[in-house]
Amino acid sequence: MEIALEIKEKLEETWLANIYREKIRTLRTRAYTLSIPERENSAEIQHTLLGVELKVGNIRLACPDLSTARYLQVFARLGCQEIAIPYDITKISTLADELESSWQQILLHFEERTSGKLPSAIGRMRSNLVKEIRAELDEIGAGEKMPQFKQSTKQRV
């Protein structure tokens, strides 16, 4: 857990959970449930005849486009069960870029911090890091299943 705190302090606003809290949850979003194991997963994007899929272990998730698959891939790697997806699809691509960049920065700082340690210790530390990020994301929450729409209309007389 101390590694997670050190990396969080180094990255500050580019920490993955901070991006989620400040740039995603402030938007109008909808909750999306990932039926995947709650652990670090290998997630890969596959292009099929039917479109884009995100493969997490033996589970395949159909995605409407590549940017959504990239967005979901970050959270699938962390084993998140429920996350928020921006309702405005034009924002998903840039947010996916930021999330992927944050994940890569976290991994780089993690490798720097754990160089020279035993593989078993590195595995435990990485597992704890992923648990810490996932717990922080779960605490922020995924929000409502469907976004709230303002239904007030002005009628002219």
Instruction: List, for residues 56-90, the tens digit of each pLDDT value.
Output: 999 999 999 999 999 999 999 999 999 999 989 99
Given a cut of 70, whether residue 155 has pLDDT beyond it is no
pLDDT tens, residue by residue, 16-29:
999 999 999 999 99
Domain positions in the chain are 2-140
- pLDDT value at position 145? 74
CA contacts within 13 A on the Cβ side of 87: 14
Cα–Cα dist 100/87, whole Å: 19
Residue found by looking up tokens 């998730």 in the block: 61
Mean pLDDT of 41-54: 95
- pLDDT value at position 26? 93
Given a cut of 90, whether residue 150 has pLDDT beyond it is no
- pLDDT value at position 151? 63
**Residues of the chain above pLDDT 90, percent:** 83
Length of the chain: 157
Given a cut of 60, whether residue 157 has pLDDT beyond it is no
DSSP 57-109: TTEEEEESSHHHHHHHHHHHHHT-SEEEEESSGGGHHHHHHHHHHHHHHHHHH
Cα–Cα dist 77/124, whole Å: 16
* CB-count burial class (<10 Å; 0-12, 13-18, 19+) for 85: buried
